Structure 1
């Protein structure tokens, strides 16, 4: 299992492929909401299992705070540590950029996952793409 910061078109295509499978295919998020206007300004990450794309995520900086977004893992790789690997790589990247605080909007069912990584809930529940979410934050 290897997480790479996207550095070429193939890796970006691989990240988008995983995101489309999980968010559009599994969760019925409209494509125009999943692939958005922030793609060009984000740092993208893709997880490979035996050179096959199996997870993805992206990172942006908003007002000096790192925003972790679009974390997803293919169903076949869930429970293998893939999500932890993606989050660790993104957190290391954020630190290398001088970022000391991160936030993310977690789907409610994923809150226990992010809580184990040290994130705490900081908002009431809200809908994003019709899916219940809460904002979570962590100092790194």
Structure 2
């Protein structure tokens, strides 16, 4: 499977990202939709990972489908907050999350951000550690799920 991560520029791309978020956070993890759609999407940059499937010979159309998503929001003092990183269950372990994070971090650096922070679910804390993030808090609950604060310097 080939994955392409792009910054969501169109309404359709943003809708693809929202669909992935609803599938993972609302349907799979039971997060209330009003918490997931928190009103901060308009002030954020969105990234959507698309899986490139086989071309359909009959229609000559690509089987391109959204499989992952992420959000970056500037929170001040050259700091960005990584949010809403999600990969569809069927595509976990295939490098989609890493690809999203590489694109998100490169964009943050291009925008002059020097540090990224996040509230990471404890179930994926090790994933972020492997990407260079450090845990900076004790465990806490958010939307009924255990989280920790993490951060990474981009300098």
* TM-score category, normalised to shorter length: over 0.9
More strand by percentage: 2
Encode CA deviations 1:24-79: one digit per residue, 9 max, x unaligned: 01000000000111111000010000110000010001122110000000011100
Q: Max radius of gyration: which structure?
A: 2
Q: State TM-score, norm by structure 1.
A: 0.99
SS of the equivalent of 2:112 reads: coil
User: 2:119 maps to what in 1?
Assistant: 105
1:83 aligns to 2:85 (yes or no): no
Rounded to whole Å, the distance in 1 between the matches of 2:90 and 2:140 is 28
Number of the residue aligned with 2:58: none
Please state whether the residue corresponding to 2:15 is helix, strand or coil.
helix
Equivalent position to 1:63, from 58, 61, 76: 76
Q: RMSD of the TM alignment (CA)? A: 0.5
Q: How many residues end up aligned between the 2 structures?
A: 140
Which sections of structure 2, spanning at least 5 residues, go unmatched? 53-63
Q: Distance in 2 between matches of 1:7 and 1:137?
A: 27
TM-score (norm: length of structure 2): 0.89
Q: Which residue of 1 aligns with 2:148?
A: 134
Gaps of 5+ in 1: none
Residue 119 of structure 1: aligned partner: 133
Give the structure 2 partner of residue 24 of structure 1. 26
Q: Secondary structure at the match of 2:24?
A: helix
Structure 2 Cα separation of the partners of residues 38 and 52 of structure 1: 25
